[in-house]
Amino acid sequence: MLQDDEREFVLRTMEEREVRFVRLWFTDVLGFLKSFDIPGEEIPEALEEGVGFDGSAIDGFARIQEADMIAWPDPSTFQMFPSRPGSPAVARMFCDIHTPEGGPFEGDPRHVLRRAIARASELGFTFYAGPEIEFFLFKDAHEPEPLDAGSYFDLTPLDVGSDFRRRVITGLEQLGVLVKDSHHELAASQHEVDLRHTDALTMADSIMTFRLAAKEVAQELGVYATFMPKPIQGAWGSGMHTHLSLFEGDRNAFFDPTDQYYLSKVARAFIAGLLRHAREISAITNQWINSYKRLVPGYEAPVYVCWGVRNRSALVRVPLTKPGKESACRIEYRAPDSACNPYLTLAVILAAGLRGIELEYDLPPEASDDIHRKSDAERWSDGIESLPESLPEALGEMQRSELVREALGEHLFEWFIANKRAEWDEYRSYVTGLEIERNLPRL
Amino acid sequence: MSPSRESVRPGPAPAVAEQVLVVGDDEDLRDRLGADLTLLGYLPVSAQTLDPPPVGPSITLIAAGAEPKEAIRVSEELRSAEGFGHVPLVWLLDPADLWVVAGNEHLCDEFVRLPYAAEELAARLRLLGLRTGRDGPDIVHRGPLRLNTSTYQAILEGRVLDLTYMEYELLKLLVASPGRVFTREEILARVWGYDYFGGMRTVDVHVRRLRAKFGQDHAWLIETVRSVGYRFAQIRA
């Protein structure tokens, strides 16, 4: 019934606005946005029967013998693009991917997140997320050359960064993606845009929309936006700290007015779940070889598996809730980087947290502020582990994880590990500049 | 002779109730009109004078009472009021006073004889809507906002808003009753349906999105009522 109304809304709007093309969006396993345009007149059929496409060309989708896939546009995501004078009206819809036999396709990240959300819903929870997305603006895609420092100072207007942020934010608002805050980050040419929390599925769609919008606006301004986790040696990396909360109806399930930090039993168990499974989900939240170059001490990135209230280097930070602001009570998971697949990342985070709630994990004591200064032995005796130091270490953890296997589903789990092992195999035989610089003169 | 309640038959209800302003000195008459208009599916707003001048109605009924020239004065005032130029004016007159219409056709879009019959009033209002072509039963005006419920388009000061289905449905609900506070539960149940498994905060998220799409200058159209819910602003000039 609701579906019929949504369809009618889409069809009438397209007619009224003379929409010539609709962009159908979906995301591959590694988090790249895929898009194909279909003419407006094919939309009625697309909403009834889906649109067939060859899945064998998409990373992580089908093997050759099962190449046919169906993209089902989700009419609730129908959104017109801000119109440009003289250009035909264009709209977009996110798609769910189905197999020709019907039913959701196991390799579709949106389906993986939908399944995790349904699981939370069975337990009575709605999952909300709000990410802080960091990224760099460079002159082009070839060199990580900052715009607002060094030799390019003269080449670009000083305020290209703020002009960029203003344009991205305005554009996003017209697409229904709301920005809470944005500012210049610590490193030269680095920026942060914080999205206002939404339910997890909408948020994953929003992050995909944001990344595209950021890249497009950068292109308009003649610069390049990158979400690479650690593009500059010796500078801060680009994280995607994500604020999380669970609601039971109108009530924030993380809030307890009687607790020292206003954290409920549910919140404590959720954090405990995140901490216990952090190493297993790392390969998803930090999926690139380069991701692990961000997770090193000294750049405010999390390294140790611990939580804290004020401690900004902890893996899980608990922002202080102001009295009367129960709905804002949340936790912040600081591992993910801006180049993750947001669907899979939110799905494994949710799975880890829910596991903590279901099995009633105990939350270990809060980490002290000086955790970075302690020796490995001291941390060991405190029971504090480190996040994986490299992609293969993370993959090893993931491979042993029944939690991640269940959250991702067999198909996606196996494909992901194989793909990432291949990435590592290619890398490990690569001789780096550092080795030449250090070794060649001496060996 | 006042019409019996039974004689009032609601016509085809407009998709979203139109606001009708009733102006005049006679409080009893205003009350009767208010009750009948409500039964007919309109949203009556009653006022003795135009101070402060209400803005936002899509039709105005002027019940001049004993002094028929009063209709001319009130209409002139309304026609020159900001945002009122296009609002059709309906005069309610004693048959003996119909002479005031002659020469003032530019101020009077329709008239109804007193004592009025509710069915005649209903028919004239419907015909007026069709004739002026301005608002079918599918178009609702609220200050700077126009909602066309047959084409699903929302237009804010001439700018078409690019809304998603849920944003549109939420707006339609709020717009139907300016000034009425809807709780989050009620909005969730009426817009998303009872079986929706997202939480109440979905409502907050969509209200924020609507305000963002309105833009800063019009974000005030949807008001937050602390710890209760939301309402569409009652628009005053």
- Residue B11 vs residues B122, B142, B170: alpha-carbon distances, Å: 7, 22, 25
> Residue B194 CA to chain centroid, in angstroms?
29
Closest to A16 measured CA to CA, from B154, B6, B141, B125: B154
- Residue A247, min C-alpha distance to chain B (Å): 7
What pLDDT is recorded for position A185?
Answer: 74
Is the pLDDT at A310 greater than 80? The verdict is no
> Residue A387 CA to chain centroid, in angstroms?
18
Comparing alpha-carbon positions, the chain B residue that sits nearest to A249 is B199
- Residue B172, min C-alpha distance to chain A (Å): 13
Name the residue with higher pLDDT: A272 or A153. A272
Binning pLDDT at 50, 70 and 90, where does residue A152 land?
very low
Tens-digit pLDDT profile for residues A211-223:
999 999 999 989 9
DSSP state, residue A233: T
What pLDDT is recorded for position B76?
Answer: 85
Task: Please give the CATH topology (third level) of the domain spanning A114-434.
Answer: Creatine Kinase; Chain A, domain 2 (3.30.590)
Q: What percent of chain A has pLDDT over 90?
A: 64
Binning pLDDT at 50, 70 and 90, where does residue A239 land?
very high
What pLDDT is recorded for position A154?
Answer: 39
Say yes or no: B49 contacts chain A, CB-CB below 8 A: no
Q: Which residues of B touch A77 (CB under 8 A)?
A: 164
What pLDDT is recorded for position B214?
Answer: 93
Q: Which residues of A touch B199 (CB under 8 A)?
A: 126, 128, 199, 247-250
Say yes or no: B202 contacts chain A, CB-CB below 8 A: yes
What pLDDT is recorded for position A63?
Answer: 64
Comparing alpha-carbon positions, the chain A residue that sits nearest to B212 is A173
Binning pLDDT at 50, 70 and 90, where does residue A373 land?
confident
- Residue A38, min C-alpha distance to chain B (Å): 19
User: Angle, nearest 10°, between helix axes B27-39 and B118-132?
Assistant: 70
Helix (H, G, I), strand (E, B) or coil at A142: coil
Closest to A354 measured CA to CA, from A256, A269, A262, A249: A269
Alpha carbon distance, N-terminus to C-terminus of chain A: 73
**Tokens at A65, concatenated:** 């013998």
Helix (H, G, I), strand (E, B) or coil at A343: helix
- Residue A426, min C-alpha distance to chain B (Å): 43
DSSP state, residue A395: H
Say yes or no: B162 contacts chain A, CB-CB below 8 A: yes
Comparing alpha-carbon positions, the chain B residue that sits nearest to A4 is B165
**Tokens at A315, concatenated:** 């893996």
Domain B13-132, second-level architecture: 3-Layer(aba) Sandwich (3.40)
Name the residue with higher pLDDT: A263 or B15. A263
ipTM of the complex: 0.75
CATH class of A2-102: alpha beta
A44 in Cβ contact with A28 (< 8 Å): no
| Residue A109 one-letter amino acid | P
Residue B212 has its nearest CB partner, among A178, A197, A327, at A178
Q: Which residues of A touch B208 (CB under 8 A)?
A: 178, 196
Per-position pLDDT tens, chain B of length 237: 444 444 444 444 455 667 788 988 888 999 999 888 888 878 888 888 877 766 567 778 888 776 888 888 888 888 777 656 667 889 999 888 888 888 888 888 889 998 899 889 888 888 876 665 445 557 787 888 988 888 888 999 888 899 999 999 999 999 888 888 899 888 888 888 766 666 778 888 899 999 999 998 999 999 999 888 999 998 753
Query: What is the rounded CA–CA span in Å between residue B45 and residue B19?
Result: 7
User: Angle, nearest 10°, between helix axes A200-220 and A342-358?
Assistant: 150
Is the pLDDT at A10 greater than 60? The verdict is yes
What pLDDT is recorded for position A382?
Answer: 81
Q: Where are the domains of chain A?
A: 2-102, 114-434
What pLDDT is recorded for position B86?
Answer: 66
Lowest mean pLDDT among A147-151, A212-216, A432-436, B74-78: A147-151
Q: Which residues of B touch A175 (CB under 8 A)?
A: 162
Say yes or no: B209 contacts chain A, CB-CB below 8 A: yes
DSSP state, residue A82: P
Say if residue A130 is exposed, middle or buried (CB neighbours under 10 Å; 0-12, 13-18, 19+): buried
Q: Which residues of A touch B184 (CB under 8 A)?
A: 250
Q: Tokens 């611990």 correspond to what residue?
A: A306
What pLDDT is recorded for position A66?
Answer: 64
Contact A12 B201 (CB under 8 A): no
Contact B199 A176 (CB under 8 A): no
Say yes or no: B159 contacts chain A, CB-CB below 8 A: no
Contact B205 A77 (CB under 8 A): no
- In this prediction, residues A130-139 reach a mean pLDDT of 94
Contact B199 A247 (CB under 8 A): yes
A228 in Cβ contact with A136 (< 8 Å): yes
What pLDDT is recorded for position B1?
Answer: 41
A355 in Cβ contact with A338 (< 8 Å): no
Contact A176 B198 (CB under 8 A): no
Q: Where are the domains of chain B?
A: 13-132, 139-232
DSSP string across chain B: -PPPGGG----SPPSSPPEEEEEES-HHHHHHHHHHHHHTT-EEEEESSSSSPB---SEEEEE-TT-THHHHHHHHHHHHSTTTTTS-EEEEE-GGGGGGGTT-GGG-SEEEESSP-HHHHHHHHHHHHHHH-S--TTEEEETTEEEETTTTEEEETTEEP---HHHHHHHHHHHHSTT--EEHHHHIIIII-TT--S-THHHHHHHHHHHHHH-GGGGGGEEEETTTEEEE---B-
Give the side-chain half-sphere CA count within 13 A for A185: 23
Lowest mean pLDDT among A115-124, A178-187, A227-236, B86-95: A178-187
Residue B164 has its nearest CB partner, among A17, A76, A128, at A76
Say if residue A441 is exposed, middle or buried (CB neighbours under 10 Å; 0-12, 13-18, 19+): exposed
Comparing alpha-carbon positions, the chain A residue that sits nearest to B154 is A13
DSSP string across A346-358: HHHHHHHHHHHHH
- Residue A58, min C-alpha distance to chain B (Å): 28
Binning pLDDT at 50, 70 and 90, where does residue A206 land?
very high
Asked if the peptide bond before residue B52 counts as cis, ω within 30 degrees of 0, the response is yes
Q: Which residues of A touch B151 (CB under 8 A)?
A: 12-13, 15-16
Closest to A258 measured CA to CA, from A269, A267, A249, A250: A267
Contact B201 A5 (CB under 8 A): no
DSSP state, residue A140: S
Query: What is the rounded CA–CA span in Å between residue A185 and residue A135?
Result: 9
> Residue B89 CA to chain centroid, in angstroms?
13
Query: What is the rounded CA–CA span in Å between residue A167 and residue B89?
Result: 45
Task: Please give the CATH topology (third level) of the domain spanning B139-232.
Answer: Arc Repressor Mutant, subunit A (1.10.10)
Comparing alpha-carbon positions, the chain A residue that sits nearest to B197 is A121
Closest to A37 measured CA to CA, from A101, A85, A81: A81
Say if residue B186 is exposed, middle or buried (CB neighbours under 10 Å; 0-12, 13-18, 19+): middle
Q: Which residues of A touch B198 (CB under 8 A)?
A: 126, 199
- Residue B61 vs residues A48, B6, B82, B106, B123: alpha-carbon distances, Å: 47, 22, 18, 15, 14
Handedness of CA A327, A330, A336, A337 (dihedral sign): positive
- Residue A430, min C-alpha distance to chain B (Å): 47
Is the pLDDT at A371 greater than 80? The verdict is no
Q: Which residues of A touch B192 (CB under 8 A)?
A: 2
Q: Which residues of B touch A118 (CB under 8 A)?
A: 197
Alpha-carbon torsion angle A261, A267, A269, A272, nearest 10:
-70
Rounded mean pLDDT of chain A?
90
Q: A with B: how many residue pairs have Cβ under 8 Å apart?
A: 82
Contacts of A57 (CB under 8 A, 6+ apart): none
Closest to A353 measured CA to CA, from A189, A36, A77, A119: A119
Q: Which residues of A touch B150 (CB under 8 A)?
A: 12
- Residue B83, min C-alpha distance to chain A (Å): 26
Name the residue with higher pLDDT: A188 or A423. A423
**Tokens at A314, concatenated:** 């902890």
What pLDDT is recorded for position A145?
Answer: 83
What pLDDT is recorded for position B6?
Answer: 43
Contact A78 B164 (CB under 8 A): yes
Say yes or no: B231 contacts chain A, CB-CB below 8 A: no
Strands A224-226 and A126-138: antiparallel
B225 in Cβ contact with B183 (< 8 Å): no
Query: What is the rounded CA–CA span in Å between residue A9 and residue A78?
Result: 9
Is the pLDDT at A1 greater than 50? The verdict is no
Q: Tokens 């504090």 correspond to what residue?
A: A384
Q: Which residues of B touch A250 (CB under 8 A)?
A: 184-185, 199-201
Say if residue B181 is exposed, middle or buried (CB neighbours under 10 Å; 0-12, 13-18, 19+): middle
- Among A57-61, A415-419, B67-71, name the most confident range: A415-419
Residue B164 has its nearest CB partner, among A79, A173, A197, at A79
Query: What is the rounded CA–CA span in Å between residue A101 and residue A103?
Result: 7
Query: What is the rounded CA–CA span in Å between residue A115 and residue A418?
Result: 23
Say if residue A104 is exposed, middle or buried (CB neighbours under 10 Å; 0-12, 13-18, 19+): middle
